[in-house]
Amino acid sequence: MQRDVHNNDLGQPIGSQLPNWRPPAVPFCDLIVGRFCRLERLNPQVHAADLYAANALDVGGRMWTYLPYGPLQSAKAYRVWAEEVSFRTDPFFYAIIDDTTLRAVGVASYLRIDPPSGSIEVGHIAYSPLLQRRVAATEAMFLLMEQAFKFGYRRYEWKCDSLNEPSRAAAKRLGFSLEGIFRQASVVKGRNRDTAWFSVIDRDWPRLRESFLRWLDPANFNKDGMQRVRLAALTSNIMDKKNG
């Protein structure tokens, strides 16, 4: 792993100076537009009914297992939850809108927003069956990551239950580096949670962004919408080099 280490006048190793560092603004935008989806600030009046209907397609409730809340088993319960979180600025929730149907099919948020350190996390990711394994699902993560780095953040985090293998696989596919497991990090729904920490940092982003753009290019999909090159094949080389 590449490290920026220098010695001070006492011969002690210290991190590199950041003479031009300025804490970024909070990256709040009410609308982020992509090719396959757009992200709108969560509005219970506009989005709650569609989100509840989309989530209800997950009959077994698998999408809620690792979230600290849910399942939200009625339209009213979902609306109450959405009203509570939509007024917060940390976490700052977005509804993910499928550009084909124009319906909200998932949510994600920024959280643990720390401008002085230039650090921000993506989380509270709840993808309904209408969004899972779709191109829009990946593009939504790209759009949030791109906006954070565009605002000037140095570090973009992803955390999940260490037993949540789909989330860990998604982080790896998206180009995040595993930094370690925080044992007994929290209690969620009465269970112990060991937390896996992942990150992308600003010096990773230019090459990672190129990988996303290449994968999202319409030329990467055949007439049936099947990908020609997997995103993981594009990001793995970047990960190998930055973790080597």
pLDDT tens digits, one per residue of 178-219? 999 999 999 999 999 999 999 999 999 999 999 999 999 999
* Model pTM score: 0.93
Decide: 108 and 94 in contact? Cβ < 8 Å.
yes
What domains does the chain contain, in order, with CATH numbers?
Answer: 19-243 (3.40.630.30)
What is the spatial order of strands in the sheet that 37-41 belongs to? Answer: 31-33, 37-41, 92-98, 104-114, 119-127, 155-161, 191-201, 177-188
Tokens linked to 136: 């829009």
Torsion sign across C-alpha atoms 167, 169, 173, 178: positive
pLDDT digit string, tens, across residues 129-148: 999 999 999 999 999 999 99
DSSP code of 23?
P
The Cβ of residue 220 has, within 10 Å, a number of other Cβ atoms equal to 17
